[in-house]
Structure 1
Amino acid sequence: MSTDDELERIREQKRKELQERAEAETQAASSPDEPIPIENSAHFQETLQDHDRVLVDFYADWCGPCQMLAPVLDRIAAETSGTIAKVDTEALPQLAQQYGVRGLPTLILFEHGEPAKQLVGMQEESTLRNLFV
């Protein structure tokens, strides 16, 4: 193998490594490492616009299953490229009503700002992780 061929191979490998690193950084920047606490309706809409796929946890502090689900959602947010948002139904009842939330916890997966799937009650971690694959 000639020196020119070897240099070209090394350049191509470096380009590929740089591109992969840039893609990883872009993905990490676009996906928070922890759930986003929703402050109001405008913040909710902004979150849906900023992220292609968002799993929204409609919860209440007094809800036992919601408390059990919280650490699972924290892990998923930290370990996957998924975006998780949390809506306190006591503080934002209009959002819960708007999306037909009747039981807690209710998880709604939004894709490109539109509801795509709804899950009610405690869910297996693997089920929730699969929503982001």
Structure 2
Amino acid sequence: MNNLINLDDITFEEKIKNENELVIINFSAEWCGPCKIMNPILEAVSREENIKVFKVNVDDNPNLACEFGVDNIPATIFFRSGNKLYQVDGLKSKEEIREKLNELK
């Protein structure tokens, strides 16, 4: 089951700006090997931590990637109330993602 919610330039604004809870947004691309490895990690975190995880394809949505300073993928950004709280670049373990979540909660 895929718990990752895809966003684009149009849906980003309506989904993220209205989220008062902490959410994760993963910027990735279909051709990116580390991004493919990161997907099941984020799905597990979504289920286990009961947190919404969104995905943005940087090839399809370069403006969003630019707006949030995404130079390398995968990039995982933690948001609350439409505000960027923290960004981690590169492949991260489930434990690393959970640790950052707990710091930000």
Normalising by structure 1, we get a TM-score of: 0.70
Where do residues 1-133 of structure 1 align in structure 2 (5 Å cutoff)? Answer: 34-38=3-7, 40-48=8-16, 49-133=18-102
CA-CA distance at 1:42 after TM superposition: 2.9
CA distance in 2 between counterparts of 1:62 and 1:51 reads 32
CA-CA distance at 1:130 after TM superposition: 2.7
CA-CA distance at 1:74 after TM superposition: 0.9
Normalising by structure 2, we get a TM-score of: 0.87
The one-letter amino acid of 1:106's match is A
Provide the secondary structure at the position in 2 that maps to 1:77: helix
Identity of aligned residues (%): 28
The one-letter amino acid of 1:45's match is E
Higher helix fraction (1 or 2): 1
**Which ranges of structure 2 fall in alignment gaps of 5 or more residues?**
none
**Which ranges of structure 1 fall in alignment gaps of 5 or more residues?**
1-32
Question: What RMSD in Å do the two structures reach over aligned CA positions?
Answer: 1.5
Higher strand fraction (1 or 2): 2
Larger Cα-atom Rg: 1
Runs of 4+ more than 3 Å apart: none
Provide the secondary structure at the position in 1 that maps to 2:77: strand
CA distance in 2 between counterparts of 1:52 and 1:112 reads 7
Provide the secondary structure at the position in 1 that maps to 2:50: coil
